[in-house]
Structure formats: structure tokens, C-alpha cells
């Protein structure tokens, strides 16, 4: 078999066999197939798409490229959640303790930020001392004891995706449905959960800009999950504007505590309740209505917040912020960002807000950059709100005054005003 022939076949829309896909992935991971040939194949896939069978073979080959975690010891109670990525997405910090407090198990591997915002692990490290590296034994013991653990992604989990994503990122081949679906599902399947809830983001700040492609991505991932005998559900959710009001690691940890205290942004709460209800419904085999009642009760009684505390402590973190969340808002410098006109906020582009937050220090401009956990943006007005010129729209947090001007310039590009109220899409666009 020759990689050249596989690329040529896909270039003209041929359907690749399982053997051809295994050959390409195995050869790429072992180093026998060079980056330039794999990039050419990725581009051909972007242009010609893949059939369901090809997408399944690709996912399977990627999943088998490294370690596969077995969570069978938890009797089918393990449930995972994945978001396709968005600005201000702190949902794992909120829903993992909720569902663990209901008796489900969350044994999760999570990444650091890929793009301009921090990842779940970065957000958790806002709690001083939090350790994202646990031995396998510590990880399983913690899941047994408190129902949840989140660790940084192990180097040996789906190495094919690590290598391929790095190529896609620099060859304009990220936004292809079979490539995204196989990338996400290979990691979810290798991480071992019995049930998976997918939060497929749709809109300006997401890979999928329109509802049709977001639904197609969701359906593709559900069908891959079914082929591997996993329960998978998906919510297609709005990512035109940042999720909630906080963007930046410790600010998002603050917002997570707010939601678990029964306060905070209504849309973020609604999304978290929906995601957690789907997770609990699948893991505990109960109806979605029953699950939703239990989720709301876990928040109202404070049990979910206490589970967050137990989680932070179990992974070596300082839990004082749970009782005193204001300490998470203690960046040395703050500046208010003001409205430049009267009107309704009719655009608050998620991606630009993410870039502004990164410029303040909350994200990585390139791999390996260090993150300033205390920096970021706290919104006080959101999409659809009416503001007057000079009203505060956001508070910017940073370690140095010198970082504010450029972040403000990016925010100027992020926000538009209109005289008529804009049409609002619901946070949950579709449940599948």
C-alpha cells in the first residue's frame, strides 16, 4: 500500500477502506508517513468529506493509537461531557460536582486551552495548589471516594490526534466534520466513559458557524458513539457571544461558584442544568424530568457546591475561595470598559472577547506560554442589553496597566450597537 495512492483516491472522492485508513494513521503515528503526506490527506478529506463508514474507521484507528482507559469497575455509572470549545465555557466546573453529588461518576481527562482561552485544567488551577497530575491509582481512588476527578490529558491518550491536530491547526484543515468528529470521539472513547454528553457549539465563536453544520456534527458524533455501544446525547448550543459573564480562569472559577450557589447568569445556569440533567439521566438510567429535579435540588441545597469543595481539596487545592469567592477577583489592576454609544448591544463577538482576554494574560498566544490565572474580563452588560454611552460594559483584570489598551481596542471590534433590540437565539438551540 502507498500513501500516495490513498491521497489520490480521496482527492477524487473515492471511499477509503478500513485497511487504507489504518495504514495512514498507523504509519503517521510511527513516523513512517511524513507530515506533508498526512496534511495532503487531511486537505483531501476536507474537500471531499467522508462516508459514515470511513469516519467510523478513522475514529477507531485513532482511538487505538494509544492507551485506552477501562472504567468498567464503575458499573456503567461513568459519564463524560465534551464541549466543542467556546469562550467563557466553565461548565465542567459546575456540572461535574452536580452529577457526582447525584451518584454518577465523572472520571475525566481534560485539556489545557487549545486556542486563546484557558482550558478546564487551567480554570481548576485557579484554586491554589490544585494538582492536575494524579497517578492512575490516585485517579480511580478519588473517583471511588467522591465521584469525580479531572486530570490533564495523558500524553499517551490518542497520540494520533495530538499529531494530526497539530498539523490541521497550521494547514487550514480544522473545520471538517469527519476530522472534528473523529478527533473528539476517539478521545472520548479512549477515556472510557459509558455515557457521553456533547455540547456542540454553534455561532460566531465556534467551529460550526451555522445550525445545519452543528447539527450534522452532533449527529455524526452520536452515530460514532452508537457504533461503539456508548450512550451519546448532544445539545447544540449558542456560541455567538461568550457563555455567562466571566472570561478568564479565576474569574470563571468565581462564576462557577456563583452558579453552584444558586446565583449568576440565567443562560449559563440553564445550559448547566440541561447538560447535567442529560448526564444524570443516562448514568443513573432515570427520565430527563426526574434528573432535572435532582440537579436543581443539588444546587438549591448546596450539595453540589460542597462536592466542588471536596473535589478541590482531594486534588490538593485551597478551598478558601468556595466560602470567599471574591478572592478570585484579586488581579492587581482593574479597568472599566465603557460603552462607546447609546444602543442595544447587537453583537458581542465571542472570538474577539476571547482574544481580548488572552491579551490581558488569560490565554496562551502560543503553546507553552504561561497563563495569568487572575486576569480576564467580567461582563456587566451582555448581548441584547440597552446601554448608554459611558456605561460600564465590562471590568478588565490584569497584572499590569500596560495590557489594557490593546485589549480595549479588540473589545471595540467585538461590540456593535443598534437602535432596535436584536433577535436573541436561545442558549439551547437543539437537543439530539
* Cell numbers describing residue 223: 452515530
How far does the chain reach from its first CA to its final CA, in angstroms?
40
Contact 294, 269 (CB under 8 A): no
Q: How far is the CB of 120 from ligand URA (least distance, A)?
A: 13
List 105, 123, 187, 364, catalytic entry: 187
Q: How far is the CB of 322 from ligand URA (least distance, A)?
A: 30
In this structure, the number of other CB atoms found within 10 A of the CB of residue 366 comes to 5
Number of residues that bind ligand URA (CB under 6 A): 8
Mind giving me the DSSP string for 48-69? Answer: H---HHHHHHHHHHHHTTS---
| Residue 161 among the catalytic residues | yes
Counting contacts by CB under 6 A, is residue 186 touching ligand URA? no
Q: How far is the CB of 219 from ligand URA (least distance, A)?
A: 16
Q: How far apart are CA 84 and CA 113, in angstroms?
A: 12
Contact 206, 214 (CB under 8 A): yes
For strands 392-398 and 148-152, give the pairing: unpaired
Counting contacts by CB under 6 A, is residue 85 touching ligand URA? yes
Please identify, using beta-carbon distances, which residue of 164 and 394 lies nearer to ligand URA. 164
| Residue from 58, 99, 184, 374 in contact with ligand URA (CB under 6 A) | 184
Mind giving me the DSSP string for 374-398? Answer: T-EEEESS-TT-EE-TT-EEEEEEE
C-alpha distances (whole Å) from 422 to each of 112, 267, 292, 382 are: 34, 17, 30, 12
* Selection from 432, 333, 321 nearest residue 376 by Cα: 333
C-beta nearest to ligand URA: residue: 183
List 60, 161, 199, 372, catalytic entry: 161
Please identify, using beta-carbon distances, which residue of 212 and 413 lies nearer to ligand URA. 212
x-marked contacts with ligand URA along 369-408 as a string, rule CB under 6 A: ----------------------------------------
Please identify, using beta-carbon distances, which residue of 86 and 361 lies nearer to ligand URA. 86
| Residue 168 among the catalytic residues | yes
| Residue 226 among the catalytic residues | no
Counting contacts by CB under 6 A, is residue 84 touching ligand URA? yes
Q: How far is the CB of 165 from ligand URA (least distance, A)?
A: 6
| Residue 183 among the catalytic residues | yes
For strands 386-387 and 343-348, give the pairing: antiparallel
Element (H, E) at 198: strand 195-202
Please identify, using beta-carbon distances, which residue of 163 and 307 lies nearer to ligand URA. 163
| Residue 330 among the catalytic residues | no
Q: How far is the CB of 156 from ligand URA (least distance, A)?
A: 16
List 168, 230, 233, 309, catalytic entry: 168
Neighbouring-strand partners of residue 377: 247, 396
Which 123-182 positions form the footprint of ligand URA (CB under 6 A)?
Answer: 165, 174, 179-180
Q: How far apart are CA 111 and CA 302, in angstroms?
A: 28
Q: How far apart are CA 350 and CA 13, in angstroms?
A: 35
Active site residues: 82, 161, 168, 183, 187
Q: Which residues contact ligand URA by CB under 6 A?
A: 84-85, 165, 174, 179-180, 183-184
Amino acid at each position: 500500500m502507498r500513501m500516495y495512492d490513498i491521497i489520490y483516491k480521496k482527492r477524487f472522492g473515492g471511499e477509503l477502506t478500513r485497511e487504507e485508513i489504518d495504514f495512514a494513521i498507523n504509519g503517521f503515528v510511527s513516523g513512517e508517513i511524513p507530515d506533508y503526506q498526512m496534511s495532503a490527506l487531511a486537505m483531501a478529506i476536507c474537500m471531499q468529506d467522508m462516508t459514515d463508514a470511513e469516519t467510523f474507521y478513522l475514529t477507531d484507528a485513532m482511538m487505538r493509537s494509544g492507551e485506552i482507559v477501562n472504567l468498567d469497575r464503575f458499573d456503567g455509572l461513568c459519564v463524560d461531557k465534551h464541549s466543542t470549545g467556546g469562550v467563557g465555557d466553565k461548565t465542567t466546573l459546575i456540572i461535574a460536582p452536580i452529577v457526582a453529588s447525584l451518584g454518577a461518576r465523572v472520571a475525566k481527562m481534560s485539556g489545557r486551552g487549545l486556542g486563546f482561552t484557558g482550558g478546564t485544567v487551567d480554570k481548576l488551577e485557579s484554586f491554589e495548589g490544585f494538582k492536575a497530575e494524579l497517578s492512575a491509582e490516585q485517579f480511580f481512588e478519588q473517583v471511588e471516594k467522591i465521584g469525580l476527578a479531572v486530570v490533564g490529558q495523558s500524553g499517551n491518550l490518542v497520540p494520533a490526534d495530538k499529531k494530526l491536530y497539530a498539523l490541521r491547526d497550521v494547514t487550514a484543515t480544522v473545520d471538517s466534520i469527519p476530522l472534528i468528529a473523529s478527533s473528539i470521539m476517539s478521545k472520548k472513547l479512549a477515556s472510557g466513559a459509558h455515557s457521553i454528553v456533547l455540547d456542540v457549539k454553534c455561532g460566531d465563536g465556534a467551529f460550526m458557524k451555522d445550525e445545519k453544520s452543528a447539527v450534522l456534527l452532533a449527529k455524526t458524533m452520536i452515530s460514532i458513539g452508537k457504533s461503539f455501544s456508548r450512550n451519546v446525547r448532544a445539545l447544540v448550543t449558542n456560541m455567538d457571544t461568550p457563555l455567562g459573564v466571566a472570561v478568564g480562569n479565576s474569574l470563571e472559577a468565581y462564576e462557577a461558584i456563583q452558579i453552584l450557589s444558586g446565583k449568576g447568569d440565567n443562560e449559563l445556569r440553564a445550559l448547566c442544568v440541561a447538560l447535567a440533567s442529560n448526564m444524570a439521566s443516562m448514568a443513573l438510567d432515570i427520565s430527563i424530568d426526574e434528573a432535572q429535579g435532582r440537579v436543581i435540588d443539588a444546587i438549591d441545597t448546596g450539595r453540589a457546591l460542597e462536592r466542588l469543595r471536596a473535589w478541590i481539596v482531594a486534588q490538593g487545592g485551597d478551598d478558601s475561595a468556595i466560602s470567599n469567592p471574591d478572592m478570585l477577583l484579586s488581579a492587581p489592576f482593574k479597568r472599566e470598559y465603557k460603552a462607546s454609544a447609546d444602543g442595544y448591544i447587537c453583537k458581542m463577538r465571542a472570538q474577539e472577547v476571547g482574544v481580548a482576554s488572552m491579551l490581558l494574560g488569560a490565554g496562551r498566544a502560543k503553546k507553552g506560554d504561561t497563563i495569568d490565572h487572575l486576569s480576564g474580563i467580567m461582563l456587566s452588560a451582555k448581548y441584547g442589553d440597552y446601554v448608554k454611552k459611558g456605561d460600564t460594559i465590562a471590568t478588565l483584570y490584569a497584572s499590569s496597566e500596560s495590557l489594557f489598551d490593546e485589549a480595549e481596542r479588540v473589545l471595540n471590534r467585538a461590540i456593535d450597537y443598534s437602535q432596535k433590540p436584536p433577535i436573541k437565539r436561545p442558549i439551547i438551540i437543539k437537543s439530539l
